[in-house]
Amino acid sequence: MTKLAKLMAGLALVVMMAACSEQAADDTTAAAPTETAEEFVARANAELEELSKEIGAAQWVRATYITEDTAVLAAAASERYAKWHSGMVKQAMAYDGQQLDASTQRAIDLLKLGTSLPAPKDPQKLKELTQIATELTGLYGAGQYCRNDNDCISGTDLEGLMQTSRDFDELEEYWTGWRTITPPMRDKFERYVELVNEGANELGYSDLGEMWRAGFDMSPAEFQQDAARLWEEVKPLYDELHCAVRAKLGEHYGEDKVPQDEPIPAHLLGNMWAQEWGFIYDIMEPYPGVSDLDVDSTLKKKNFSPQEMVRSAENFYVSLGMDRLPDTFWERSQFSKPRDREVVCHASAWGLDGGNDLRIKMCIKQTYDELRVIYHELGHNYYQAAYKDQPPLFQGSAHSGFHEAIGDTVTLSMTPGYLAEVGLISSAEESEKAVINRQMQMALDKIAFLPFGKLIDEWRWGVFSGEIKPEDYNKAWWEMRTRYQGIAPPSERGEEFFDPGAKYHIPGNVSYTRYFLARILQFQFQRSLCEIAGHEGDLASCSIYGSKEAGARFHAMMASGQSEPWQDALEKLTGTRHMDATAIIDYFQPLMAYLKEQNAGRSCGW
């Protein structure tokens, strides 16, 4: 997420909070309903359909024409939507306790869960929470590490330095320097927890963590247990990867700095938060010199335009039996950075007008990485198109992990065989060593991320429930990061620090579980799709390109949106009602065998 995107998110939050405050000041009790629950839901859908057109258009213009005027237009549209939403939530509470049909109850529940930041009804507390939320995002967005008044480094620049530097002390300086922005957040965050918990209480939840977990079609306790099960299924692969990475880092920096029976120092993994480790691939490359897939040279040699790169991705989805993108997609999308104005280049997919107006927004470059992003973003668009005939309250992913997983699943089919078939590389032949290299690159991001993706919200669940006390915020954070990730800070981090605040999603109040679930689901989806397509051989070599049978099942799952429990949607594709992380182990079997061989004789664990 770019700094501008963060600021826009903060603005939307402030507008929402202000609207909620105005509504609460007018009336803090839900009036007796004057319409049936079914009539209420029908009205909500009709009003939401119209509001969504306005706010979508305003947000698009804001992202593609960055001026003071478009900021005003976007804020005004957001305020109108926020006032509507806060009022509808209050009205929806009047139907609590009534016996409703499943569809009506689901629509009302989704409406209530439409905010991740429930605010107290008391106007003074609402005002206080508005101020705290603004200050927390502001502290992060404006954060810099300053050696002195004339030598300050932004967060974005620090991230880049963490990716490229291989100097132990320099990396520690950058890592520690970024965390100087967080101590002022600590007291504000403690009060924020009190206020959002009060808001969640008023909606019938014991705390905000329980409210977040309530959006998964099972009890909050059952969901927490399910997330733990998924982690245990994939942990053996993570443990082998961790052991190999620690050994290589020990060779590079010296075992005096990276002891081989302790957690890995958190600043050595090529990422400010040690969440993904792909930038240390130069240290980890199993077989140096074994060539990588050189798609970049083909894109440049054939001079692919941004539109041609998008056509390549569209052709993949069409090969599965899905429709071509509408003419308006090609007329209205942003494919390149305009020369005459400022825009947000961060890639995103848009389903405006209830999914009838699909677009992407990117500043496309001729690289394989960008091509993969395009395939991913069109996954969002095809999902939006699939559920566009659902009522507006059901236009969304089956649960928060599904949307990200769709496009990620498709990128797994961008195998050497597929790339050769569509002319992006010259040969599909890949040596065993090249397979291991490619899987190592993937694992350093996809597998290394999993424990981080899980613990961000688990820490917050403990904070919201009171299990983690304010005086133990940092202690609990590092205990959890060490337990799950096997990493440790490069120096002592006492309670004078607030290291969780160094990750945007904490001060920005953005739930993180969706990313953990998406990393699990993409491999489960791919395994089922490959079985449907009749693939023979190892899972990592499978591409579903051209399989109408796989495409039909894929589309059937997407078409239900969030109109039914995610278990029902999942069953349409996989035949099972449970998320399953064992597909990750299946996919990475070649790398798993390599890692076990490399780790033989090493003392793994921490």
Question: From CA 61, how far away is CA 257, in angstroms rounded?
Answer: 51
Of 429, 346, 354, give the one whose Cα is nearest residue 385.
354
Annotated active-site residue in 346, 420, 421, 434: 346
Beta bridge partners of 96: none
Annotated active-site residue in 79, 240, 404, 430: 404
Question: From CA 459, how far away is CA 448, in angstroms rounded?
Answer: 18
Question: From CA 442, how far away is CA 438, in angstroms rounded?
Answer: 6
Active site annotation includes 377: yes
Considering only the C-alpha atoms of the chain, give the largest distance between any 2 of them, rounded to a whole number of Å: 73
Question: From CA 441, how far away is CA 553, in angstroms rounded?
Answer: 30
Active site annotation includes 404: yes
Annotated active-site residue in 376, 399, 535, 555: 376
Contact indicator for 430, 416 with CB cutoff of 8 Å: yes
Distance of CA 51 to CAs 22, 46, 354, 483, 543, Å? 19, 9, 10, 46, 40
Active site annotation includes 347: yes
Distance of CA 532 to CAs 117, 145, 230, 547, Å? 41, 52, 24, 8
Task: Determine which helix (DSSP H) or strand (DSSP E) holds 274, and give its type and residue range.
Answer: none
State the residue for tokens 């040699």. 301
Distance of CA 62 to CAs 67, 152, 504, Å? 7, 29, 22
Contact indicator for 11, 75 with CB cutoff of 8 Å: yes
Active site annotation includes 380: yes
Question: From CA 193, how far away is CA 190, in angstroms rounded?
Answer: 5
Active site annotation includes 432: no
The angle subtended at Cα 593 by Cα 585 and Cα 258, nearest 5°, is 95
Of 412, 408, 418, 414, give the one whose Cα is nearest residue 383.
408
Looking at 254-326, list the stretches that DSSP marks H as alpha helix, in order from N- to C-terminal side.
281-284, 295-301, 306-319
Of 443, 454, 447, give the one whose Cα is nearest residue 481.
454
Exposed (0-12), middle (13-18) or buried (19+): which is 350, by Cβ within 10 Å?
buried
Annotated active-site residue in 505, 549, 559, 564: 505
Beta bridge partners of 352: 357
Annotated active-site residue in 380, 399, 403, 535: 380
Annotated active-site residue in 515, 545, 587, 594: 515
Question: From CA 127, how far away is CA 119, in angstroms rounded?
Answer: 10
Of 48, 4, 34, 36, give the one whose Cα is nearest residue 390.
48
Looking at 466-588, list the stretches that DSSP marks H as alpha helix, in order from N- to C-terminal side.
473-485, 513-532, 548-559, 566-574, 582-587
**Which are the contacts of 273, defined by CB distance < 8 A and separation ≥ 6?**
452, 502, 503
Active site annotation includes 32: no
Contact indicator for 49, 351 with CB cutoff of 8 Å: no
Question: From CA 267, how far away is CA 27, in angstroms rounded?
Answer: 51
Annotated active-site residue in 9, 42, 347, 476: 347
User: Helix or strand or coil: residue 584?
Assistant: helix
Contact indicator for 137, 13 with CB cutoff of 8 Å: yes
Report residue 10 CA to chain centroid gap. 18
Annotated active-site residue in 79, 276, 377, 458: 377
> Which amino acids are annotated catalytic?
346-347, 376-377, 380, 404, 505, 515
